[in-house]
A and B are shown apart, each in its own frame.
Chain A
Amino acid sequence: MSHPAPNPSSVSRRQFLREGMRLAAMTGAGAFVGLSSGRTGAREHYVWQIDPTKCVYCGNCATACVLKPSAVKCVQAYEICGYCDLCTGYFVPEPNALNTGAENQVCPTAAIERKFIEDPYYEYNIIESRCIGCAKCVEGCTRFGNGSFYLQVRHDRCVNCNECSIARVCAGDAFRRVPASNPYFLKTSAH
């Protein structure tokens, strides 16, 4: 009696039920694939990016990213840069002098490099390893200059969270999912 005979009718009934449900689940999964095939982009996956026309340079990018420091960095669109001597992205309001002294720079991490090209033009480069994405330079450049400094999600850093934690708090609602094949907003002319 150590191996009690199973109740054959009960077992087969359960077996049948299980088989039936599995079949139903398989059919359901198949139907689901068919249904979603229309909604599936085989060639696309998505990454997060900032629409610079909507960015209000609120500073959340520096603080809200799951990465510390943030995966959002300032980029320089050289094509539309005015190469100004008095760069409103580089210098604080009312700069003491137009030189690289710390008292004149707006960037808290000195992540912008100012390089003399020819009179009166200066080139400005973002040193990305230092940039924290605080957008202080972006505000100056966008409001009073050409807007060649702007924030972008850097995809060599971004871990592409399913729900971007900066997007959740973005003051300008500027974050969106973009196709990975075209992952940057490139400013070629200012708008």
Chain B
Amino acid sequence: MTAPSLPSSRADADLLRPLRATVWITACLAALAVLLLVVTHHRAHAHDPLKSPELAALKQRLLDEPRNEELKQQIRDLDLALRRSHSRLLNFYAFGRWLLLGSSVSFVLSAKAWGKLHARPPAPRLSPDAAERFTRLVRLARLTASTTALCTLIALTAIVVAATSPLPSAATDPEKLLARLRGEALEVPPLPPLAEFAANWPRFLGPAGNAFTPVAPEPLTFDAASGDGLLWKVSLSSPGFNSPIIWGNRVFLSGGDAARRSVAAFDLATGQRVWEQAVTGVPGSPAKAPEIPESTGFAASTMATDGLRVYAIFANGDLAAFTLDGRPVWSKHLGVPQNQYGHANSLAVWEGRVIVQLDQGDADAGLSKLIAFDGASGRVAWQVPRKVPESWASPIVVEAAGRAQIITLAGEFVIAHSAGDGAELWRVQELHGEIAPSPIFAGGFVLAVSPNDKLMAIRPDGLGEVTKTHVVWHADDGIPDVTSPVSNGELVFLVTSYGLLSCFDVSSGKKLWEHECDTDVHATPAVAGKRVYVLGGKGKVVVVEAARELKELATFDLGEAIFASPAFRDGRMVIRTAKSLLCVGTPPATASGGTSP
């Protein structure tokens, strides 16, 4: 009679040594397998052959040197080596797994056998009082159970306290949040009435898009150097060819270069800079700005406002919205616009939506589109593709023929889209060249300029292709290539890049007069009351009377180059020069009171 597991026999004793050796060897093998797997995994994780930065760098280099055959061979060799090392890695994992499994199983088996030879038979000892032991045991167990329970409760409480979430918890809050995200007006103030829109200068070339304001600023002449006739003047730090816009007592403009794009607001009364916000961290925007010709720059597009927010777009494709007091609302990257000179189409707004004419590339590329973003949320309200090439004209939104229409120029076409859903309403195929002058709406006609070619008037009540039926008149004398036409509703004024100012009758297209301003002009002129302001590229300002007969009122030198079109409100004129922003007007004490139209 023996206990079953004593190493009693010689055979068992002989087994002990080799068994012990097996236990050690298999244990070491298993440990080695684990170590190898861990090290390999760590190294593969740090240098994933399939994410090799060297290969990416070589491929990038090939873009610059497309004919470098040696480089190609280098890429192929490296690619092959990397793929080989990837496959070696997978094979090694497979090998390591089986090595680990095999060695572990042998270890457990030999260790168990070894342990069995070493096992001692049970030798029960006389135990003290079982009842007392039991009582002590359950007391301790109650203590550990209570401790575990307490730890659990403390942990749960800590989790409850620590957990915070941007997701609102109360039942009503999600509704508000959803409303905000949907852009619904729960607490959102309603859009300002149209009258207020008309009293401000909410976009490029004013509320109606024809650069007209009924009240002319006083005095007639002004000078940047001396400050004569100016209410204020501030210098600008950020470059940009965009024109200022005005809402209430704020002037907004954007500026930027490859390094930084920003939006700034100035006080209309004092010129004091109220806020400036950089447009950064736009999701998806490339870290390295694209190359944009300096003649256009990153901030050629004029901003727009709906009276609640201001919107700005930059040539790198960033679109941003801010509240009037400068709080960022949303920003989006629309992809870098493919535009040889840089994106310059200004923004338009309509019923709380911001409209982006994103024309780019060739007509065949199908990249161009017209997008309406919800102003509150930045969500795309609608977007329509446009089979047109890149363009530089700004869209206008007009109420005509009982429809809200977005008038756009690009390539060979004047195209009107429905403002509600972007559907195309009508088109005229009569443009040529690089389309920079923007369309205007005057005297019931859409006026469009084919650069250096002709001015045409189109009745906006057509549907479909209306080239043959709706073009009312043409004019082909003194046609600009960059600046847009302007109008007071009765007369149309055009100024060419070399300074020839022409006046046409809007209803007939008959040329009434022309005037040589004798300066190069890059900025669209403006009509204020009875005056036409022509702002020259070198700072020469020519003021003529907005009348059927030519009458020059003044010619003087501002002293600073001008590339942007002026903005007006309440008898004040805000001009952006190359270096500064200045305001023409008389101080409030002597100002002639309210001037809303």
Binds A, one of B73-81, B236-244, B427-435, B575-583: B73-81
B332 contact set on A, CB distance < 8 A: none
Which bucket holds chain B's interface residue count? 10 to 19
Among the listed B50, B51, B79, which residue makes an inter-chain contact with A102, where contact means beta carbons less than 8 Å apart?
B79
Q: Which of B58, B83, B90 has the most CB of A within 10 A?
A: B83
Binds B, one of A103-111, A113-121, A174-182: A103-111
B90 contact set on A, CB distance < 8 A: 68-69
Given contacts A103-B75, A109-B86, A110-B83, 14 further A-B contacts (CB under 8 A): A92-B59, A96-B62, A96-B66, A101-B72, A102-B76, A103-B58, A103-B62, A103-B71, A103-B72, A103-B76, A108-B83, A109-B83, A110-B79, A134-B50
A109 contact set on B, CB distance < 8 A: 50, 83, 86
Q: Which of A103, A132, A134 has the most CB of B within 10 A?
A: A103
B167 contact set on A, CB distance < 8 A: none
Q: B170 in the interface, Cβ–Cβ < 8 Å?
A: no
- Give the residues from 38 to 89 in chain B that come closer than 8 angstroms, CB to CB, to chain A: 50-51, 58-59, 62-63, 66, 71-72, 75-76, 79-80, 82-83, 86
A94 to B59 Cα, complex, angstroms: 11
Q: B93 in the interface, Cβ–Cβ < 8 Å?
A: yes
A94 contact set on B, CB distance < 8 A: 63
A190 to B75 Cα, complex, angstroms: 35
A68 to B44 Cα, complex, angstroms: 12
- Give the residues from 104 to 146 in chain A that come closer than 8 angstroms, CB to CB, to chain B: 108-110, 132, 134
Among the listed B72, B80, B82, B86, which residue makes an inter-chain contact with A96, where contact means beta carbons less than 8 Å apart?
B72
Contact with A along B90-127 (1 / 0, CB 8 A): 10010000000000000000000000000000000000
Distance in Å from the Cβ of B266 to the closest Cβ of chain A?
A: 43
Distance in Å from the Cβ of A19 to the closest Cβ of chain B?
A: 26
12 contacts across the A-B interface (CB closer than 8 A): A96-B62, A96-B66, A96-B72, A101-B72, A101-B75, A101-B76, A102-B76, A103-B58, A103-B59, A108-B83, A109-B83, A134-B50
**Nearest 6 Cβ contacts at the A-B interface:** A102-B79, A103-B75, A108-B50, A102-B76, A103-B72, A102-B75
Distance in Å from the Cβ of B190 to the closest Cβ of chain A?
A: 36
Give chain B's interface secondary structure class.
helix
B58 contact set on A, CB distance < 8 A: 103
Distance in Å from the Cβ of A61 to the closest Cβ of chain B?
A: 14
Contact with A along B379-399 (1 / 0, CB 8 A): 000000000000000000000
Distance in Å from the Cβ of B96 to the closest Cβ of chain A?
A: 12
Distance in Å from the Cβ of B60 to the closest Cβ of chain A?
A: 10
A134 to B93 Cα, complex, angstroms: 20
Chain A contact residue count (CB 8 A cutoff): 13
A68 to B48 Cα, complex, angstroms: 13
Residue on B with the closest CB to A105?
A: B79
A109 to B76 Cα, complex, angstroms: 12
- Give the residues from 294 to 312 in chain B that come closer than 8 angstroms, CB to CB, to chain A: none
Contact with B along A57-80 (1 / 0, CB 8 A): 000000000001100000000000
Number of A-B contacts (CB under 8 A): 34
A64 to B86 Cα, complex, angstroms: 18
A103 to B82 Cα, complex, angstroms: 13
A115 to B285 Cα, complex, angstroms: 37
Residue on B with the closest CB to A103?
A: B75
Distance in Å from the Cβ of A56 to the closest Cβ of chain B?
A: 13
Residue on B with the closest CB to A68?
A: B93
A132 contact set on B, CB distance < 8 A: 50
B59 contact set on A, CB distance < 8 A: 92, 103
Contact with B along A157-191 (1 / 0, CB 8 A): 00000000000000000000000000000000000
Distance in Å from the Cβ of B452 to the closest Cβ of chain A?
A: 36
B75 contact set on A, CB distance < 8 A: 101-103
- Give the residues from 241 to 299 in chain B that come closer than 8 angstroms, CB to CB, to chain A: none
Q: Which of A92, A94, A101, A108 has the most CB of B within 10 A?
A: A108
B72 contact set on A, CB distance < 8 A: 96, 101, 103
A134 contact set on B, CB distance < 8 A: 50
A166 to B93 Cα, complex, angstroms: 21
A101 to B59 Cα, complex, angstroms: 12
A108 to B59 Cα, complex, angstroms: 12
B76 contact set on A, CB distance < 8 A: 101-103
Contact (Cβ within 8 A) B80 A102? yes
A15 to B520 Cα, complex, angstroms: 110
A101 to B72 Cα, complex, angstroms: 8
A102 to B80 Cα, complex, angstroms: 8
Contact with B along A20-51 (1 / 0, CB 8 A): 00000000000000000000000000000000
Q: Which of A68, A92, A101, A102 has the most CB of B within 10 A?
A: A102
B80 contact set on A, CB distance < 8 A: 102
B93 contact set on A, CB distance < 8 A: 68
A69 contact set on B, CB distance < 8 A: 90
B62 contact set on A, CB distance < 8 A: 96, 103
A92 contact set on B, CB distance < 8 A: 59
Distance in Å from the Cβ of A187 to the closest Cβ of chain B?
A: 23
A102 contact set on B, CB distance < 8 A: 75-76, 79-80
Residue on A with the closest CB to B59?
A: A103
Distance in Å from the Cβ of B87 to the closest Cβ of chain A?
A: 8
- Give the residues from 351 to 375 in chain B that come closer than 8 angstroms, CB to CB, to chain A: none
Distance in Å from the Cβ of A6 to the closest Cβ of chain B?
A: 16
A103 contact set on B, CB distance < 8 A: 58-59, 62, 71-72, 75-76, 79
Distance in Å from the Cβ of B89 to the closest Cβ of chain A?
A: 9
A110 to B75 Cα, complex, angstroms: 13
Distance in Å from the Cβ of B6 to the closest Cβ of chain A?
A: 29
A108 contact set on B, CB distance < 8 A: 50-51, 82-83
Residue on B with the closest CB to A69?
A: B90
Residue on A with the closest CB to B71?
A: A103
B63 contact set on A, CB distance < 8 A: 94
A68 to B51 Cα, complex, angstroms: 16
Distance in Å from the Cβ of B286 to the closest Cβ of chain A?
A: 14
Distance in Å from the Cβ of A98 to the closest Cβ of chain B?
A: 13
A94 to B62 Cα, complex, angstroms: 10
A101 to B79 Cα, complex, angstroms: 10
Contact with B along A81-93 (1 / 0, CB 8 A): 0000000000010
- Give the residues from 6 to 24 in chain A that come closer than 8 angstroms, CB to CB, to chain B: none
Distance in Å from the Cβ of A3 to the closest Cβ of chain B?
A: 16
A182 to B76 Cα, complex, angstroms: 41
A108 to B62 Cα, complex, angstroms: 17
Residue on A with the closest CB to B44?
A: A68
A156 to B62 Cα, complex, angstroms: 40
A86 to B59 Cα, complex, angstroms: 18
Contact with A along B534-561 (1 / 0, CB 8 A): 0000000000000000000000000000
